[in-house]
Amino acid sequence: MYIEELIIEGFKSYATRTIISGWDREFNAITGLNGSGKSNILDSICFVLGISTLSHVRANNLQDLVYKRGQAGITKASVTIVFNNEDRERSPPGYENHKQISVTRQIVVNGRNKYIVNGHNKNQQDVANMFQSVQLNVNNPHFLIMQGRITKVLNMKPPEILAMIEEAAGTRMFEDRKEKAFKTMSKKDAKLEEINTLLETEIGPKLEKLRESKRTFLEYQKMAADLDQLRRLLIAHDYVKYQTKLETSGQDLEEKKDRIVTLEQMQGVLAQDMEDIDDKIAEIVAEREKDSAQLTKLESTFKEYAKELVKVQTQCKLKEDTIADEQKNKNSLLKEKTETEQALLDGKAKYEKLTADFESTMKEHEEKAESIRKLEDLIQTLSTGLAAKEGQENGYQTQLQDANKAVSTAASEAEQAKLKITHLKKELQEKLPKAKAAEKQNSSLLAEVKANKNVTEMLQSQLNDLSWNPDREMELLRQKQVSQSAVNDLRERIDGLERELSAFQFDYTDPAPNFDRRKVKGLVAELVTISKENFDSATALEICAGGKLYNVVVESEIVGTQLLQKGRLKRRVTIIPLNKISAFKIQAERLATAKRLAPGKVDLALNLVGYDDEVEAAMNYVFGSALVCKDADTAKRVTFDKGVRMRSITLEGDTYDPSGQLSGGSKPNSAGVLLKLGTLKDLRKKLADMENGLKEVVREYEGYQRTASHYQGLKQKLDLKLHEGRLLEERLNTNASAQIIQHVESLRKQLQEQETLRHECLERKAAAQERRTHIEQEMKEFSAHREDKLKSLQKELATGKAQLAKAAPEIKKVQQQIDLSKEEAAQLEKEIVQLEHQIRQVEKVIDDYVNEERVLKDTLAEIKRSYDTAEYALEHERQALSAFDVETKELETQKKEKKQLLEDCKLEVQKLKHELEKFHSEREHANRRVKELVQNHPWIPDQQQLFGKPGTGYDFAKQDLGEVRKRVNQLEERHKMLERKLDQHVMDKYDRVEKKETQLKQMLATVKRDKRKIQETIGELDKYKREALRKTWEKVNVDFGAIFGDLLPGNSSKLEPPEGQDITEGLEVKVALGGVWKQSLTELSGGQRSLIALSLILSLLQYKPAPMYILDEVDSALDLSHTQNIGQLIRTRFNGSQFIIVSLKDGMFNNANVLFKTKFRDGVSTVERIAQRDKERSAATSTAGKKGRVVGVVRGGVMTPRRMN
């Protein structure tokens, strides 16, 4: 049931008949300037709903609701609401067959107030019962939140918050009815009491009187005599009392007069003291005002120093950050330089190795070439007998000469080396003792050098072992960023789809410990998959399943019962237990007949969906009884065929039933959900794969980061050790003892070189001798076998030339490598020079910044001293002013005490004067009474001498005069009663009274029995109410915390009974901010308090949704972001109810489907309708075209559509 149309006429600012139609069934917003009449729309709705507290609609009486209170010629206010009542399940009792309910309330100035429902007059209680039956109790509303209600919620006492929970639970109506029952019982009790009183005080005494009528007369006579005697006693006592008062002395009167004079003198003294105190206070205030000027000056100085202090502190911090950045730049350059130097060292080492290998190879190559040249000469010489070149002799002879020359040269060099060795040994023996003494002196330095060398080698080895590739690290970082961006994009798509498909989210809590969640399979819609070739059948499948898409499939009925009872479900659901469900599935013969009638155009709905085998029973239940056809003709032919007779659904969504019913024409609101759910599943799977890939990249990247961090640490340590090594080498080189040690080491090295040279010379000598012997042997063989020897030499020559030709490319390649290595080393040297220049520039900049920072810190210290001095002076001045305040406070206290004394004196004087006046008045009264008694009772003078005498009838001491007066009153009443009721027809009256007594006793028994039954029923309903209240509290508590967590992430809230009380006695709000539960809500800000109150109200709305909710500026105390969140929350969470919200903020009403804007023109309010998210377009919208937006404008009291471009 929701509002379709609102008609206002003569109500508040709506003078003319105003029809506001086009209300959205879910979310409507009303906005407009202050005073434009937006809240009057809500007031008109509350007016129709029957609100009794007019202050809630800002009126003192019903006349205030009429336009200009009836002064403008309009004397009647009328409001009509037309409700859509098509949902019979939510219809008020008795109105299920009415598609619309029109409720009108009219008031006339100084006239009557009437209700009209669907054209029939109704009384107010009938209308109230109708609205209460659909949770629209406007006099105790949880659906109505007017202006200021938000702030009042948190000020509610626990019983008032409990009343809101009772209203949401539906027990409030029971309480109202219970209260009425108690009132009725109270009336019955009063009636019972009346009957009992009647029986006891009238019927019973009357019967008794009738039985004892004879004794009554005698009693009457005796009573008259006793009454006369007692009356005389009382009159005599009064006479004596007043006579004694007249004779009382006037001493008390004089004492009171003296006391008055004393008190009046004291008043003058106190008044003078108060004037003196006022003068002293004025003097102190004047002195304080003088010092206040000095305080203002000191505060100004203090603020200036504080501002300057903050300024310089900020400059120092910026300078420190700049120095740190430059230092990082320097470290980066140093690191780059170190890496470049290391690369240069590696390049030089490579160059030296290549050069050495090249020289060795070239030497072998040249020796080989020389050997071949000599072999050619030898062959030519041996073949022709002539030398190959002029000046050369016979081949073997030349070789023999060369061999002899080599023997002689090697012997000579070996002898020279021997002489040098002898000389070096002699010098070494002389220098060795000095070197040992120097080693003792430099042992510690040498140990440091050795230790440094060992550590350096170890660090270098560790660096070489690390497999760190900076390019790979950068590539991994790029991959991580790209993957993370892709994951985020995919998550956003998934979140959007999940929000769009929020109706298919099934949340529950475990109903029992260790609950196996695999027993809950999920919603039918989530268990279904549709292949790509069946995408065109999605709409038909959705219509086939209908509401069953939202059913929850579970393993057994036990699991379903657990979920319903203890799963804390957030909405009503239908459970499908797999072990109990019995599904109808079309017979194979019918399906075959259908396919034969329309080959390729019809199939069973169950065959078009995919599902797991374990949920087959549920799928048969949902999809097993309908056919899907490609077109309408096929559906008609199949549905109404005698051999089929099954419900059919076309791809467009039209449904054909064998009973003759046809439905369709448009797609349902949920069209496409199965495809969207399938897309959501695919996206989730893709997200999981992408997240796994991202984890792998992150793992490898973090490993590289750890390796890089380790590498940088080792590199810094290595650089430090290399620097230490250079410093130690410099110390050794500049030390005299170290020079001796180095000289000895040099001698040892030279000795070793000479020994090696002598050994080489001896080897060359032996080789030359061997060569000489070989040549001589060759000469002998050549003489004996000339031809064979020439062939052998020619073969040897050919082999040698081939080897030379083969080695030439390799030599060229090595030469190229040497040139490239040399160029790389030169380039690295240039880079090192550039880096050193950049480092020097950065160091200069750092030095400049450090100097500037030093100046700033000196300035900061000076300003801090001035700041402390100013702060001390300011505090001292404040303490001085505080002393003035203390003295003033003491004087004020003294003045207050004296003022209190003065008031006491005045009060006592006034009291004494009043007593004097009373004293005179009493004397006059006593004199007058004495005269009246003597005049009215002539026996007094005769009996006067007996008054008060013992043993007489006027013995006052013997009698309790109070009891006597009571006795007289009783006797007078009894006497009068007996005098009136004495009658001769006693028996007739007795029969009538006895019969009446019997009837009253029977009636009394019947009422007592009915009362007992009502009390028993109320007791049972109280138990049910308590359980319903507890469940409501638990559910609302969960939603309360969840909604507050959505509005203020990371925080929570709850409702709980006050300490020591039960939930039936009251509930109070508790809030946790940052995980800490607050003891009091006064610690919260205004916005937080508003969010708490709004969360509580929305949680109540969500528990048991009413057809309609009215909210009047609930976002007034919230910022824009929270307003936007609340608008989205209402739009997404409360889809089953109609919301009407007054708001001045875009963040709220931009979420509404329909917006009404109010304006105030010429003293009359008007309304403009803007359709923002109409789900079902009206005829006005469809005719307005595709561009622009459609609004409704009230002209002449009727809303008409127009286009806004």
Q: Give me the pLDDT at residue 4, please.
A: 93
Measured in degrees and rounded to the nearest 5, phi and psi for residue 1030 equal -65, -45
Residues 1001 and 519: their CA atoms lie apart, in Å, by: 66
> Is residue 670 very low, low, confident or very high in pLDDT (cuts 50, 70, 90)?
low
Q: Are strands 2-9 and 1108-1112 parallel, antiparallel or unpaired?
A: unpaired
What is the pLDDT averaged over residues 67-79? Answer: 88
What DSSP assignment string belongs to 319-369? HHHHHHHHHHHHHHHHHHHHHHHHHHHHHHHHHHHHHHHHHHHHHHHHHHH
Residues 1071 and 1092: their CA atoms lie apart, in Å, by: 8
Tokens 């690191």 sit on residue? 335
**Which range among 80-94, 509-523, 876-890 shows the weakest confidence by mean pLDDT?**
876-890
Tokens of 782: 């050549």
Q: Give me the pLDDT at residue 1201, please.
A: 43
Residues 533 and 577: their CA atoms lie apart, in Å, by: 31
Q: At 141, is the secondary structure helix, strand, or coil?
A: coil
Q: What digits encode the pLDDT tens for the residues 837-852? A: 888 888 788 888 888 8
Q: Between 20 and 1172, name the one with better pLDDT.
A: 20
Give the chain's end-to-end CA distance (angstroms, integer). Answer: 34
Alpha helix locations (H) across 385-394?
none
Q: What digits encode the pLDDT tens for the residues 1072-1098? A: 888 888 877 778 887 788 888 888 888
Angle 123-126-131 from CA coordinates, rounded to 5°: 125
CB 101 within 8 A of CB 5: no
Q: Give me the pLDDT at residue 663, please.
A: 79
Q: Which CATH class is domain 625-665?
A: alpha beta
1-143+1106-1205: which CATH number, 3.40.50.10470, 3.40.1440.10, 3.90.1150.10, 3.40.50.300?
Answer: 3.40.50.300
Q: Between 720 and 148, name the one with better pLDDT.
A: 720
Instruction: State yes or no: pLDDT of 274 exceeds 90.
Output: no
**Which range among 317-326, 375-384, 621-630 shows the weakest confidence by mean pLDDT?**
375-384
Q: Give me the pLDDT at residue 665, please.
A: 58
Residues 354 and 367: their CA atoms lie apart, in Å, by: 20
Q: Give me the pLDDT at residue 29, please.
A: 93
Count CB neighbours of 1045 within 10 A: 15
Furthest C-alpha separation in the chain = 211
Angle 439-442-448 from CA coordinates, rounded to 5°: 120
Would residue 523 be called left, alpha or beta, if left means φ above 0 and alpha means ψ between -120 and 50 degrees? Answer: beta
Q: How far lies 6's CA from each of 20, 45, 847, 1197, in Å?
A: 5, 8, 80, 11
Angle 232-236-239 from CA coordinates, rounded to 5°: 140
Q: What digits encode the pLDDT tens for the residues 990-1011? A: 667 767 777 777 777 777 777 7
Residues 12 and 70: their CA atoms lie apart, in Å, by: 10
What is the pLDDT averaged over residues 537-541? Answer: 85
DSSP 92: P
Q: Give me the pLDDT at residue 1198, please.
A: 42
Residues 242 and 524: their CA atoms lie apart, in Å, by: 102
What is the pLDDT averaged over residues 294-317? Answer: 80
Q: What are the extents of the domains in the chain?
A: 1-143+1106-1205, 155-170+204-211+983-1105, 625-665
Instruction: State yes or no: pLDDT of 20 exceeds 90.
Output: yes
What is the pLDDT averaged over residues 344-349? Answer: 79
Instruction: State yes or no: pLDDT of 480 exceeds 90.
Output: no
Residues 570 and 1152: their CA atoms lie apart, in Å, by: 24
Residues 229 and 185: their CA atoms lie apart, in Å, by: 49
> Is residue 954 very low, low, confident or very high in pLDDT (cuts 50, 70, 90)?
confident
CB 1069 within 8 A of CB 1084: no
Residues 626 and 604: their CA atoms lie apart, in Å, by: 6
What is the pLDDT averaged over residues 256-266? Answer: 76
> Is residue 221 very low, low, confident or very high in pLDDT (cuts 50, 70, 90)?
low
> Is residue 347 very low, low, confident or very high in pLDDT (cuts 50, 70, 90)?
confident
Measured in degrees and rounded to the nearest 5, phi and psi for residue 1111 equal -125, 125
Identify which of 76-80, 782-786, 1124-1128, 1171-1175 has the greatest average pLDDT: 76-80
Tokens of 1130: 């209402």
Residues 1097 and 189: their CA atoms lie apart, in Å, by: 40
Tokens 């209308």 sit on residue? 127
CB 978 within 8 A of CB 985: no
CB 949 within 8 A of CB 955: yes
> Is residue 953 very low, low, confident or very high in pLDDT (cuts 50, 70, 90)?
confident
> Is residue 253 very low, low, confident or very high in pLDDT (cuts 50, 70, 90)?
low
Which of these, 9, 30, 4, 12, lies nearest to 83 by C-alpha position? 4
Q: What digits encode the pLDDT tens for the residues 415-446? A: 888 888 888 888 878 877 777 776 666 666 67
Q: Between 1168 and 140, name the one with better pLDDT.
A: 1168
Q: What digits encode the pLDDT tens for the residues 1043-1066? A: 888 888 888 899 889 888 888 888
Q: What is the mean pLDDT of the chain?
A: 78
CB 1122 within 8 A of CB 1043: no
Q: Give me the pLDDT at residue 252, please.
A: 63
CB 1129 within 8 A of CB 1141: no
> Is residue 19 very low, low, confident or very high in pLDDT (cuts 50, 70, 90)?
very high
CB 1000 within 8 A of CB 1056: no
CATH architecture of the region 155-170+204-211+983-1105: 3-Layer(aba) Sandwich (3.40)
CA 1034 from chain center: how many Å? 20
Tokens of 445: 């330095």
Instruction: State yes or no: pLDDT of 945 exceeds 70.
Output: yes
CB 132 within 8 A of CB 1: no
Q: Give me the pLDDT at residue 417, please.
A: 83
Count CB neighbours of 218 within 10 A: 9
> Is residue 9 very low, low, confident or very high in pLDDT (cuts 50, 70, 90)?
very high
Question: Same fold for the domain at 1-143+1106-1205 and the one at 625-665?
Answer: no
> Is residue 83 very low, low, confident or very high in pLDDT (cuts 50, 70, 90)?
very high
Q: What digits encode the pLDDT tens for the residues 1167-1194? A: 999 888 754 444 333 333 333 333 344 4
Q: Give me the pLDDT at residue 621, please.
A: 87
What is the pLDDT averaged over residues 189-199? Answer: 77
Instruction: State yes or no: pLDDT of 250 exceeds 60.
Output: no
CA 769 from chain center: how many Å? 101
Q: Give me the pLDDT at residue 80, please.
A: 96
Residues 615 and 927: their CA atoms lie apart, in Å, by: 110
Q: At 520, is the secondary structure helix, strand, or coil?
A: strand
Q: Between 777 and 32, name the one with better pLDDT.
A: 32
Buried b (16+ CB within 10 A) or exposed e, 1125-1150: bbbbbbbebbeebbbbbbbebebbbb
CB 595 within 8 A of CB 637: no
What DSSP assignment string belongs to 592-607? HHHHHHSTTTEEEGGG
Instruction: State yes or no: pLDDT of 495 exceeds 70.
Output: yes
Handedness of CA 576, 578, 584, 586 (dihedral sign): positive
Residues 814 and 809: their CA atoms lie apart, in Å, by: 9
Q: Give me the pLDDT at residue 121, please.
A: 92
DSSP 382: H
Question: Quick one: three-class SS letters along 1035-1085?
Answer: HHHHHHHHHHHHHCCCCEEEEECCCCCCCCCCCEEEEEECCEECCCHHHCC
Q: At 4, is the secondary structure helix, strand, or coil?
A: strand
Identify which of 1-10, 169-178, 354-363, 752-761 has the greatest average pLDDT: 1-10
Kindly state the percentage of the chain with pLDDT values over 90.
Answer: 6
Q: Give me the pLDDT at residue 731, please.
A: 66
Instruction: State yes or no: pLDDT of 986 exceeds 90.
Output: no
Which of these, 1085, 1072, 1084, 1081, lies nearest to 1045 by C-alpha position? 1072
Tokens of 1007: 């009422």
Tokens of 757: 């040279």
DSSP 10: S
Q: Give me the pLDDT at residue 987, please.
A: 47
Count CB neighbours of 799 within 10 A: 11
Sequence-distant (≥ 6) Cβ neighbours of residue 853 within 8 angstroms:
316, 319, 320, 323
